[in-house]
Amino acid sequence: MRVNHTGEVCAQALYQGQALTAKLPGVRAEMEQAAQEEVDHLAWCHERLQQLDSRPSVLNPIFYAASFAVGAGAGAISDRISLGFVAATEDQVCAHLQRHLGELPPEDTASRAIVEQMHIDEDSHRQSALRAGGLQFPEPVKKTMTLVSRLMTESVSRI
């Protein structure tokens, strides 16, 4: 659940950075709306961490800053790239959440409910970004994003 919590911290930062540099008001509004929806996910993950007698990663401030910079940079380049980045990121988040569901014990219904709802919401963000004109990223870019995501996941699960 710590990895999911950090992912939501990153989502907040990413969307806030993208909203800051979005060129079109509609894209800015979509990023702000997505960030607001991610607040629920962050709260759910934080509460579940407490219930599991765990804690957030101490790396969260670093990942927040990096995600904000990436989001602001993507938005500064273009709204299509920014939306494409959302779609590619949410696609990876959905894959992570699907793997997490497969690893969760069936009796952990509280965690499963959180992860299932997050999966639905993240897929909705992905679809919205593509419908709004998000650029489909090429496979080499997606593979690089996957590598970075794995590094984050591995470090956050330990620290």
Which domains are seen in the chain, by residue range? 2-152 (1.20.1260.10)
Residues 6-55: tens digit of each pLDDT: 888 988 888 889 888 988 888 888 888 888 888 888 888 898 889 888 99
Alpha carbon of residue 110 to chain centroid: 20
Contacts 24+ apart (CB under 8 A), 98-101: 100/3, 100/4
Query: Where is pLDDT greater, at 53 or 157?
Result: 53
Distances (CA, A) of 97 to 26, 30, 75, 115: 28, 23, 26, 6
**pLDDT at residue 150 in the model:** 82
pLDDT value, residue 77: 92
Give the predicted TM-score (pTM) of the model.
0.83
Q: How far is CA 157 from each of CA 30, 62, 104, rounded to the nearest angstrom?
A: 30, 15, 15
Report the pLDDT averaged over residues 105-131: 89
| pLDDT value for 66 | 92
Chain position carrying tokens 């629920």: 40
Report pLDDT for 123. 92
In tens, the pLDDT along 53-108 reads: 899 998 999 999 999 999 999 989 998 998 998 899 888 889 888 988 888 898 98
